[in-house]
Amino acid sequence: MSTPLYKSIYNDLREEILDSVYPIGAKLPKDSELSIRFGVSSITIKNAMDLLKKDNLIERKPRTGTIVISNKREGNKEKPGVITVGVIVSDFNEYFGNTLIKSLISHKNQEVNCIIKCSKGDSNQEETLINQLLSYGVNGIILIPASSDYFSSKILELISSNFPLVLVDRTMDQLPTCNVGIDNISASYDLTKHLIDSGHTKIGIITANKKLSTNDDRIKGAINAHITNDLSISQSQILNNMESMAPERLISPEEDVKKIKVFLKKNTHLTSLLAGEYAVALLVKQAIEELGYNIKSDYSVVCFDHASIDMFEKNQFVFDHIYQDEVSIGEKAIDLVFEKIKDPTLIKKVTVPHKLIKGNSVKVLSE
């Protein structure tokens, strides 16, 4: 269900009044002119005007017309500065997503009402949820897309209409969108360089089989690190068909573990592995152990993100990994929605710094 036409027209005219397109004392166009402008009936225009009058922004005078009497946002029924933002995530867990959502609903600088939805990695469900949020009259949408390759008609419609849409942890290079996240190419480069600096020259790369810009960028970053350090790398060192960590599992984790075991048996020269995410690193760990080997002593393993680390647990196993500041990502996503509301033509990419956390999964090889 989409936003009623009269509410959409009300929102457009209200923003024009608040932005002083029609300053205090100015007359709005006649209802008949607005009907032509928006391509709707006079009744629809009247309903929109009734809402503006209820906000004390206009006054309807017989034989004079519609006069703007206020351009203060306090005229709105909602508390000034408070917006409602729809948030659609493909999935969330303790590795990545939970802290991000917490930061969205408890922004330290902006007052925001958040409506959280989960697409479960389904692009069709994602489009349904977008339509649902729009029917609620949200002021903006923060989206972690199910895919970086597939653009639903609704996403294209939001972008073309300059609706406040902010992508998190994903990019759609072909489309002019606002984005927030880390630089995955740079982060993967740093993670791979960490292995190289530890003496590893034979590095395998294992990622999920998901059409996401994050996976592509992490592979690119690892390849760049090889090239700039004069190391060769071939396609045989890359395994990118892990499927069990998808929101709706296509296969079991055991089947992915079998794939990794086959991969390691074919690439006996590898001394280290870069996992595209923490869930993949756990699968890698299981495969290594089932083959009778151990993390660090036999294979060094690094990854992106990590489960919560208990500082009071002395013997906790921790992968060397890239830490993403989800609190900052969430806060900057909200800030960007506010910026986009003020300037609908804004196209901005915000990069949040990442950090390399050293655990106990990398062995330093002797030269």
Provide the residue ranges of all domains of the chain, joining segments of one domain with +. Answer: 5-75, 83-181+326-352, 184-324
Angstrom distance (rounded) from CA 58 to CA 100: 40
Structure tokens at 148: 């970086």
Q: What is the pLDDT of residue 76?
A: 42
Residue (of 179, 184, 181) closest to 167 by Cα position = 179
Angstrom distance (rounded) from CA 360 to CA 61: 75
Residue 45 identity: I
Domain 184-324: CATH class, spelled out: alpha beta
Angstrom distance (rounded) from CA 89 to CA 118: 5
pTM confidence score: 0.74
Give the 3-state secondary structure of residue 232: coil
CATH 1.10.10.10 holds for 5-75: yes
Angstrom distance (rounded) from CA 131 to CA 305: 31
Q: What is the pLDDT of residue 80?
A: 42
Angstrom distance (rounded) from CA 142 to CA 104: 10
Give the 3-state secondary structure of residue 269: coil
Neighbours of 42 (CB within 10 A): 11
Angstrom distance (rounded) from CA 307 to CA 317: 10
Angstrom distance (rounded) from CA 58 to CA 64: 13
Same CATH topology for 5-75 and 184-324: the answer is no
Q: What is the pLDDT of residue 124?
A: 84
Q: What is the pLDDT of residue 290?
A: 97
Return the CATH superfamily for domain 83-181+326-352. Response regulator (3.40.50.2300)
Sheet containing 320-324, strands listed edge to edge, beginning at the edge strand earlier in sequence: 238-242, 203-208, 272-275, 300-304, 320-324, 354-357
Q: What is the pLDDT of residue 229?
A: 96
Per-residue pLDDT of the chain (367 residues; tens, 9 = 90+): 467 888 989 999 998 888 888 877 788 999 999 999 999 888 888 888 888 888 888 888 777 788 887 776 654 444 445 678 999 888 776 666 677 777 777 766 567 888 998 888 787 888 899 999 988 888 899 988 766 556 677 888 888 888 999 999 877 767 888 999 999 999 999 999 999 999 999 999 999 887 677 888 999 999 999 999 999 999 999 999 998 877 666 789 999 999 999 999 999 999 999 999 999 999 999 999 999 999 999 999 999 999 876 666 667 889 999 999 988 999 999 999 989 888 888 999 999 999 999 999 999 997 5
Residue labelled with tokens 């809402």: 51
Q: What is the pLDDT of residue 18?
A: 87
Q: What is the pLDDT of residue 284?
A: 97
Angstrom distance (rounded) from CA 1 to CA 3: 7
Q: What is the pLDDT of residues 91-142, one digit of tens each?
A: 776 666 677 777 777 766 567 888 998 888 787 888 899 999 988 888 899 9
Angstrom distance (rounded) from CA 204 to CA 195: 11
Angstrom distance (rounded) from CA 289 to CA 350: 40
Kindly tell me the burial class for residue 43, based on how many C-beta atoms sit within 10 Å of its own C-beta (0-12, 13-18, 19 or more): exposed
Q: What is the pLDDT of residue 175?
A: 80
Angstrom distance (rounded) from CA 102 to CA 142: 14
Q: How open is the CA angle 58-141-215, to the nearest 5 degrees?
A: 160
Q: 352 — phi, psi (to 5°)? A: -95, 130
Q: What is the pLDDT of residue 299?
A: 97
Q: What is the pLDDT of residue 77?
A: 44
Q: What is the pLDDT of residue 247?
A: 65
